[in-house]
């Protein structure tokens, strides 16, 4: 009888961590799969579909194939998702309904306090003094999951007259035309400045306006309102431009209230896989079973 095999495709840095026993998620999933009689191995990244009798896990992106799934960290360690599609806004959690009444208030308060101390130790909310606009890539393009281009987003927020700070993503390379477009906006709006560290500026932000930057999750941790200009998985407690329009979203943002603690517990602990939890292996196997994997 041929045994099925799971191949976990990793880049060299991740593979080295896994081989050294420093990649908890990989360790737990290898253990879980082998407990079901499967073979399992770490493999290099590839764009090729898995061989016969093999199934594959790829980090963030992989070939479109029925025997391929994607794994991706859910913003904070040790929370992960195993999904069929790479686009976060197409994951089941994005379509799920958040019902705060089903989440224990005390547990949620303890959870957000612990996570805040872990993720941003020493950072405390300050008196709001500006709107933070964390940018990502492709500033002059409007992509299918966006309501407008990032440049148009910055212009819309600056047009409110509030002090605004647009920060650049440290891992993005911006073209001369993109930087020129930002400079033109800064010349047009004297209330807009460009640059700075997003996390440091978050403490003094009245609210965050972004396409779908992970900085918005940090904003939730500091109980700051968020305006989203694009689709994403963590949209449930934000003001969504796609739903209510840009003018209404920006008008409501300064006074917007949400149950941040309960939401973060629901989104991370209930919807994602906690790789450190006792039931991590079982939840990983459940995620692999979806779509008909025979495990």
- The angle subtended at Cα 59 by Cα 53 and Cα 60, nearest 5°, is 120
Q: And the tokens for 273?
A: 């896989």
Number of structural domains found in the chain: 2
The string of DSSP letters for the chain reads: -PPPEEEEEE-HHHHHHHHTT--HHHHHHHHHHHTTT-EEEEEE--SSPPPTTEEEEEES-----TTEEEEEE-SSTTEEEEES-S-GGGSHHHHSPP-GGGS-HHHHHHHHHHHHHHHSTT-------EEEEE--S-TT---TTBSS-HHHHHHHHHTT-S-EEEE--TT----HHHHHHHHHHHHH-TTEEE---HHHHHTTEEEEEESS-THHHHHHHTT--EEESB--TT-TTSEEHHHH-HHHHHHHGGG----HHHHHIIIIIITSEETTSTTHHHHHHHHHHTTT---
Same domain for 116 and 186: yes
Q: Is 189 inside a domain boundary?
A: yes
**pLDDT score for 126:** 87
Q: Is 284 inside a domain boundary?
A: yes
**pLDDT score for 2:** 61
Q: Is 295 inside a domain boundary?
A: no
- Tell me how far apart the alpha carbons of residues 20 and 79 are, in angstroms, rounded to a whole number: 21
- In this structure, what is the dihedral angle of CA atoms 101, 103, 109, 114, given to the nearest 10 degrees? -150
Query: What are the residue ranges in the chain where pLDDT is below 70?
Result: 1-2
Same domain for 126 and 221: yes
**pLDDT score for 167:** 98
**pLDDT score for 15:** 96
User: 19: domain range?
Assistant: 5-96+273-289
Same domain for 184 and 76: no
Same domain for 34 and 9: yes
- Tell me how far apart the alpha carbons of residues 13 and 284 are, in angstroms, rounded to a whole number: 23
Same domain for 146 and 11: no
**pLDDT score for 1:** 54
Same domain for 127 and 198: yes
- In this structure, what is the dihedral angle of CA atoms 276, 281, 287, 290, given to the nearest 10 degrees? -170
Q: What are phi and psi of 40, to 5 degrees?
A: -150, 140
Same domain for 138 and 74: no
Alpha-carbon separation of residue 232 from 3, 21, 129, 228 (angstroms) = 38, 32, 27, 8
pLDDT in tens, 203-238: 999 999 999 999 999 999 999 999 999 999 999 999
Rounded to two decimals, the pTM is: 0.95
Give the CATH number, domain containing residue 189. Answer: 3.40.50
**pLDDT score for 182:** 97
Q: And the tokens for 294?
A: 């025979």
């Amino acid at each position: 009888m041929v045994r099925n095999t799971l191949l976990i495709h990793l880049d060299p840095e991740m593979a080295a961590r896994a081989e050294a026993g420093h990649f908890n998620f990989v360790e737990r999933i290898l253990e879980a799969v082998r407990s079901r009689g499967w073979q399992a191995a770490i493999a290099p990244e590839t764009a090729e579909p898995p061989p016969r009798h093999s199934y594959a896990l790829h980090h963030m992106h992989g070939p479109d194939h029925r025997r391929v799934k994607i794994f991706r960290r859910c913003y904070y360690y040790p929370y992960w998702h195993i999904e069929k599609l790479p686009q976060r806004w197409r994951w089941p959690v994005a379509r799920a309904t958040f019902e705060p009444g089903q989440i224990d208030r005390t547990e949620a308060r303890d959870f957000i306090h612990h996570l805040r101390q872990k993720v941003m130790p020493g950072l405390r909310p300050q008196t709001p003094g500006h709107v933070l606009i964390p940018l990502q890539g492709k500033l002059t393009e409007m992509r299918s999951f966006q309501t407008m281009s990032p440049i148009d987003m910055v212009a819309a927020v600056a047009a409110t007259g509030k002090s605004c700070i647009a920060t650049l993503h440290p891992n993005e390379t911006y073209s001369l035309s993109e930087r020129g477009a930002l400079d033109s906006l800064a010349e047009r709006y004297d209330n807009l400045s460009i640059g700075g560290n997003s996390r440091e500026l978050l403490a003094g932000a009245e609210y965050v306006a972004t396409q779908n930057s992970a900085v918005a999750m940090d904003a939730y941790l500091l109980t700051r309102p968020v305006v989203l200009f694009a689709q994403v998985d963590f949209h449930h407690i934000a003001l969504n431009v796609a739903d209510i329009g840009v003018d209404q979203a920006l008008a409501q943002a300064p006074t917007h209230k949400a149950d941040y603690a309960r939401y973060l517990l629901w989104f991370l602990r209930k919807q994602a896989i906690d790789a450190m939890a006792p039931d991590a292996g079982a939840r990983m196997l459940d995620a692999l079973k979806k779509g008909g994997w025979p495990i």
